[in-house]
Amino acid sequence: MKIILTQEVSGLGTPGDIVEVKNGYGRNYLLPQGFAIQWTKGAEKQVVVIKRAREAREIRDLGQANEVKTQLSSLKVALSARAGKDGRLFGSITPAEVVTAVKTAGGPALDRRRLELPGHIKTTGSYNVLVKLHPEVTATFPVNVVAAK
């Protein structure tokens, strides 16, 4: 089955790539989850639009990635969330919330899909979040989750 990826899938490709996958994997996982669209001649013309959008979001080169990495390492990110008496959160912290907290702390704009949280963040405390800035550059930064008053 030939498909066009709309999001990054590890081990398969990046948005805009045309790949050949097994029928079941494409039909049962990639298409329903919105990670890909069915390949057609008309859809192939959308590849240019998908790649252009990816380039606008993506960090340009290795130098810029290292610059963003140094910005993140010196950043103090604090996130407040509703919590019970024992520090357990009502819900959990999402990558989108972390990106917003980085932005409000004066950090660079990040793509939430490139963040890797250390499991589900469901209690208050300090956590190290990993972000893939470039294929060769990854950065970690601390996020302090505190109970909201």
DSSP string, 38-92: E--HHHHTHHHHHHHHHHHHS--SHHHHHHHHHHHHT--EEEEE-B-TTSEEEEE
Query: Which of 143, 49, 41, 37 shows the shortest CA–CA distance to 100?
Result: 143
All CATH 3.40.5.10 domain ranges in the chain, comma separated: 2-57
User: Does the pLDDT of residue 41 top 90, yes or no?
Assistant: no
Reduced DSSP (H G I as helix, E B as strand, rest coil) percent helix, strand, coil of the chain, to 5? 35, 35, 30
Out of 13-22, 27-36, 38-47, 86-95, which region has the weakest mean confidence (pLDDT)?
Answer: 38-47
All CATH 3.10.430.100 domain ranges in the chain, comma separated: 62-147
User: Mean per-residue pLDDT for 29-47?
Assistant: 89
Instruction: Give the separation between CA 48 and CA 37, rounded to whole angstroms.
Output: 14
User: Mean per-residue pLDDT for 134-143?
Assistant: 87
Q: How many C-beta neighbours within 10 Å does residue 18 have?
A: 14
User: Does the pLDDT of residue 50 top 80, yes or no?
Assistant: no
pLDDT in tens, 79-133: 999 999 899 999 999 999 999 999 999 888 888 888 999 989 999 999 999 998 8
Provide the pLDDT for residue 14: 81
Provide the pLDDT for residue 22: 96
User: Does the pLDDT of residue 45 top 90, yes or no?
Assistant: no
Provide the pLDDT for residue 141: 92
- Exposure string of 53-81, with b = 16+ CB inside 10 Å and e = fewer, is ebeeebbeeeeebbebbeebeebebebeb
* 87, 125 Cβ separation under 8 angstroms: yes
User: Mean per-residue pLDDT for 46-61?
Assistant: 71
User: Does the pLDDT of residue 58 top 70, yes or no?
Assistant: no
Q: How is domain 62-147 classified at the architecture level of CATH? A: Roll (3.10)
Structure tokens at 6: 């709309």
Provide the pLDDT for residue 59: 61
Superfamily classification of domain 2-57: Ribosomal protein L9, N-terminal domain (3.40.5.10)
* 29, 7 Cβ separation under 8 angstroms: no
* 98, 129 Cβ separation under 8 angstroms: yes
Mean pLDDT taken over the chain? 88
Q: How confident is the model at residue 60 (pLDDT cuts 50, 70, 90)?
A: low
Residue type, 44: E
